[in-house]
Amino acid sequence: MLNMATTSEARTGVSAIVDDTKIQKTLAALSDCTASMIREILAKARELKGLEPDEVAALSQTTDAGLLSEMFDTARQVKEQIYGKRLVLFAPLYISNLCSNECLYCAFRASNHGVKRRALGQWEIAAETKALVDQGHKRILLVAGERHPDEGLAYIRKAVETVYRVKSGKGEIRRLNVNIAPLTIDGFRELKATQIGTYQVFQETYHRPTYASVHVAGRKSDYDWRITAMDRAMQAGIDDVGIGVLFGLYDWHYEILALLQHIRHLETHFGVGPHTISVPRMEPAVGSIIAAQPPHPVSDMDFRKIIAILRMAVPYTGIIMSTRETPKMRRETFALGVSQISAGSRTNPGGYREGKRQEDGSQFQLGDHRPLDEVIRDVAQLGYIPSFCTACYRLGRTGQDFMDLAKPGEIKKHCDPNAISTFTEYLIDYSSEKTRQVGEECIAGNLLHMPPPIRRISTSMRHRVLKGERDVFC
C-alpha cells in the first residue's frame, strides 16, 4: 500500500478551498440578472481576463435563447483568440482496474463482482503502449484503479518507465500524464522524478454531503485528503496539474463555482492554477444504478453552457473532453472551449492490444467508439489541426512559465507550428489515404490564415518532417 500523510497534513487549508455558504449566497443573489448585466459580463469575457464567481453564477442561470446565443458566440471568440484552430489529442492507458474504494457511480468499486479485475504486467503495459504508438499517438494518460499491486507506488513508477521506453517504427510516447490516487508529498516527489507530464485527479463533486453519500468506503471517502491532493502535488514540485468534476452527481451550478474556488486557491497559494479542467458527465457503468440514473442529470444544453462558461471564466486553462460523449456533442463543444480530446479510447486494461472492448472490465460506457484515424479525419474536416504536440513539457514551459507565454498570446508562436509539424508526422506515418487527403487540405487552409511570421516557421518545420525528420518542435 502507498504511504499516507498524517491527518494534519491532509487537512491543512481545507476550509479555505471551498466555501459552501458563499456559493449558496452567490447563486441566490444572482438568480435574476437583466440582459444588460449579462452583456456586460460577456464584454468583460472578451477581454480575456477571466470572470469572477458572481459573474459565473449569473451566466450559469441564464436561460434566454438570445442571450445564450451571445454567450456561445463569446466563448467561441475567446477560444479562437487563445487556441486558434488546433485541438490536442491523446488516449487513456488503463493499466489496472483494482480498487479499494466504494464509489457508487464507478464500475471499479471494490464490491462490484461484475468486473473482471486485472493489473497489467510490465510486458503487457509495453504491448498496450506499442498498440497506441502504432495508431499514431504521442500523448497518453496513464490511469489506474486506486489500489495497486503489492509493489505500491513502485508499480506506477515502473509503468511510466516502461511506457517511455517503447519505440515502434518512427513512433514513441513523448508525454505521459498520470491519473492515479492522491499521494503524500514524498510520494508526489517520487512520481515527479519519473518525468511525468500532468498529474490529474478529480474531486468528482465538491458538495461535501453528496461526496459522502457516493464515496462510502475506502481512502477516497476522505473528502479533505482528496481536495488537498493538488496542494501536495505542487508542494512536491509538480506544477502541471489537472482537476475536474463528474457532472451529474450534484447541481452543476454549484459545482462550477466550487471548481472556480479551487482554482483560485491554487493560484493564491502557488501562483498558478490547473493546466487542465476535465468535464466528464456520468455515463452508465457495469453494476452501478446511480451511473445510469444520475441524481442531477445535465442536459445537452446545460453541458454546452458549462463548457462555454468555463472557457470564459478561465480562458487560459485547457478543457478536456473525453470519449464519454458522442461524436455529435464533441463536435459541438470544440468551438465553445474544448482544447483537448481523447480518441480511440479503451477504459479496460488490455483493451488496445487485444483490439476489443470488454464491457465487464471497463470503467464506464463510451459514447464515441471511433478509431483514432476517423476522429482525426472528422476534426480536420471541421477545420481544426489535430495536434500531438508535447514541446511545452519537454522544454520546461509548464506552470507559471506556460501562463507567462499564454496570457500575452506568445504561446501561439509555438503551438501552431508544433501542431502543423506533429499532424504532418501523423499523416505521413499513420493515416489512411482518405484522412491524408483531408488533412493536407486542412493544413493548407490553416497555413493560409496564419500571420506571416508563424506561417514561415510552420512551413519550415513541416518541410523538415516531409524530408524525413521526426519530433520537430519549437
Q: pLDDT for 184-204, tens place per residue?
A: 999 999 999 999 999 999 999
Q: What's the CA gap between 90 and 377, in Å, rounded?
A: 15
Whether residue 71 is predicted with pLDDT greater than 60 in this model: the reply is yes
3-state secondary structure of 155: helix
Rg over alpha carbons for the chain, rounded to the nearest Å, is 21
Q: How confident is the model at residue 391 (pLDDT cuts 50, 70, 90)?
A: confident
Q: What is the pLDDT of residue 401?
A: 67
409 confidence band (pLDDT: 50, 70, 90) = low
Query: Of 19-23, 115-119, 383-387, 466-470, where does mean pLDDT reach its minimum?
Result: 115-119
Give the cell for residue 379: 476534426
**pLDDT above 70: residue 372:** yes
Q: What is the arithmetic mean of pLDDT over 347-351?
A: 90
Residue 404 has pLDDT above 80, yes or no: no
Q: How many CB atoms lie within 10 A of CB 8?
A: 7
Flag whether pLDDT at 356 surpasses 70.
no
Q: Between 239 and 394, where is the model more confident? A: 239
Taking the CA atoms of 223, 26, 72 and 43 in sequence, report the sign of the dihedral they define.
negative
Max CA distance (Å), the chain: 61
Q: Among 163-167, 370-374, 405-409, whose mean pLDDT is lowest?
A: 405-409
As beta bridge partners, residue 94 has 143
DSSP annotation of 364 reads S
Quote the pLDDT of residue 408: 64
Question: Between helices 53-60 and 300-313, what is the axis angle to 10°?
Answer: 160
- Find the mean pLDDT for residues 445-455: 94
Q: What value does the mean pLDDT of the chain take?
A: 91
What are the Cα distances from residue 269, in Å, to 13, 231, 264, 273, 388? 10, 8, 9, 9, 31
pLDDT of residue 10: 42
Does pLDDT of 283 surpass 90? no
Q: Does pLDDT of 4 surpass 90? A: no
Question: Pseudo-torsion of CA 132, 344, 387, 301, nearest 10°?
Answer: -160
Helices (H), 49-200: 53-60, 65-83, 122-135, 153-165, 185-192
pLDDT computed for residue 62 by the predictor: 94
- How many whole angstroms separate alpha carbon 68 and alpha carbon 436? 37
The letter for the amino acid at 248 is: G
Residue 455 amino acid letter? R
pLDDT of residue 11 exceeding 50: no
Return the minimum-mean-pLDDT range out of 33-42, 148-157, 315-324, 338-347.
148-157
- What is the pLDDT at residue 227? 97
The mean pLDDT of 338-363, rounded to a whole number, is: 82
Cα separation, 130 vs 173, whole angstroms: 9
- Residue of 181, 173, 131, 137 lying closest to 155 (CA atoms): 181
Q: Higher-confidence residue: 418 or 285?
A: 418
pLDDT at 13: 53
Per-residue model confidence (pLDDT) at position 152: 87
Give me the torsion for CA of 397, 443, 440, 391, rounded to 10°: 0
Report, as an integer, the average pLDDT of 267-272. 94
Q: Is the dihedral of CA 142, 147, 153, 154 positive or negative?
A: negative
The pLDDT of residue 262: 98
Band (7; pLDDT cuts 50, 70, 90): very low
- On the question of pLDDT at 3 being above 90, the answer is no
Q: What is the pLDDT of residue 405?
A: 64
Cα 471 from chain centre: 23
Would you state the pLDDT for residue 167?
97
pLDDT, residue 472, reads: 93
